[in-house]
Amino acid sequence: MKIAVVGTGYVGLVVGACLAENGNTVVCVDKDAAKIATLEAGKMPIYEPGLEEIVRRNHSEERLSFTTDLPAAVGASEIVFIAVGTPQGEDGSADLQHVLAVARDTGRAMNKYTVVVDKSTVPVGTAAHVRDTIARETTQLFSVVSNPEFLKQGAAIEDFMKPDRVVIGSDDQRSADVMKDLYAPFTRTGAPIMFMDTASAELCKYAANSILATRISFMNEIANVCELVGADVDHVRKAIGADRRIGSSFLFPGVGYGGSCFPKDVKALLRSSADKGYDFKILRAVEAVNDHQKLRLVEKMEAHFTTLKGRTIALWGLAFKPRTDDMREAPAIPIIERLLAAGAGVRAYDPEAAPTARRIFGDRIALCEKSYDALAGADALAIVTEWNEFREPDFSKMRAQLKSPVVFDGRNIYSPEQMRALGFTYFSIGR
């Protein structure tokens, strides 16, 4: 199939590359000429494992191309994916100006029947707005489909190529058939393609991310209770995770969730619910718990040191999760800001997110090229992101570099017994 993907951010680039990998002819469109030039040169604007290889291979084999010319891309395509950003407004709602601008320009460029696919995360009712916007610009037949993405950063390629399910919101059979043909190669192992109305499809993404965020905040609350009553959250987590009604995923306590999806989607669902007169009390609590949890590690530091003024804290991990350079809503940001406000110095290391952190913090923190460099002369180490390279470090080297052997583990990656046996003063979450 001939496909245009408008937007070369995280979702658009992954979608375009994976569709090309399966033999489709895909053109990725972006108004940012510098980004298009970067992609044409084989360089990636984001870090995602496996993405660079797929982009380069399909670009070389001429299945994947990049352009700023949206009308030409739309005119040459049967399917147009809208994958532009929906930034969060001040009131928590999703800003649809970019989505509707693409819809308008797509309508003007259509020269035949076209399926327009909302791939951006959008509030319920967006498909109708997109349909109305396009209809004002063209007399061509077209369909608007909702096709939410369920990609995990750090595993996005596998998630797209081997999905748990594909959700298609369609109001006519012709577009449903087109989407079924498009996704059939990705679902040969039995993953379902779920067809539904556009409103239900749009709500699926918000509902999925909100329930995952709820599980995280719930376990963080349980971890905080464990500390008060002398229980071990690892034992509790394993016991409830063994219940088939619950399962073990997203039950790991830590310093809170972040990234481009959970915070924004929780806020958007809260806002859209409020707009309909509904107070989503559970999600308000989820958000409040998460905001507080991001500072639990600093509270532990303040309790241990009495004052953080003049202290130096080493941070391992800046990205909101491993295998990405994304720091949007990352717990590291409020942790660092609280440390700086308390008069502490910060030495930080992350395998991928240092350039992003430099744009956020400038020279207010020291960004180190190697993990052990961050420990030099620090009063304590705080682990904020659970990169694999932190799981089995040289503990003797850690002790030698740190001014005092104190570790605040925000991801519970070490054994408390082992750390104490090695001579560390060790703090974790819920243990």
Give the CATH number of the domain where residue 316 resides.
3.40.50.720
Check which CATH number belongs to the domain holding 235 and give it. Answer: 1.10.1040.10
164, 177: one domain: yes
- What's the Cα-to-Cα distance from 350 to each of 109, 160, 357, 384, rounded to whole Å? 44, 26, 9, 10
Q: Give the pLDDT of residue 91.
A: 72
87 and 160 co-located in one domain: yes
Give yes or no: residues 133 and 167 share one domain.
yes
- Of 153, 176, 196, which one is at a domain's C-terminal end? 196
Give per-residue pLDDT as tens, 182-203: 999 999 989 999 999 999 999 9
Nearest to 174, CA basis, from 112, 120, 101, 84: 112
In total, how many domains does the chain have? Answer: 3
Active-site residue, from 204, 226, 261, 368: 261
Does 327 share its domain with 354?
yes
28 assigned to active site: no
Same-domain pairing of 249 and 367: no
For residue 92, name the pLDDT band (cuts at 50, 70, 90): confident
Q: What is the mean pLDDT of the chain?
A: 96
> Is 96 found in the same domain as 86?
yes
Structural domain span for residue 353: 294-427
pLDDT at 95: 85
Do residues 108 and 35 both lie within one domain?
Answer: yes
The 10 Å Cβ neighbour count of residue 272 is 20
Q: 57-61, 92-96, 230-234, 397-401: lowest mean pLDDT where?
A: 92-96
Residue 284: CB atoms within 10 A of its CB come to 14
Looking at the structure, tell me whether residues 302 and 407 fall in a common domain.
yes
Do residues 314 and 370 both lie within one domain?
A: yes
pTM beyond 0.85: yes
Q: Does residue 31 sit in the same domain as residue 168?
A: yes
Domain boundary among 268, 292, 316: 292
Residues 6+ apart with CB under 8 A from 278: none
Q: Are residues 52 and 143 in the same domain?
A: yes
pLDDT digit string (tens) for 107-159?
A: 999 999 999 999 988 989 999 999 999 999 999 999 999 999 999 999 999 99
* The pair of three-digit structure tokens given for residue 302, joined into one six-digit string: 């303040």
- The answer to whether the beta carbons of residues 286 and 213 sit under 8 Å apart is yes
Which among 167, 196, 225 is the end of a domain? 196
pLDDT value of residue 89: 74
264 lies in the same domain as 412: no
Residue 90 has pLDDT above 90, yes or no: no
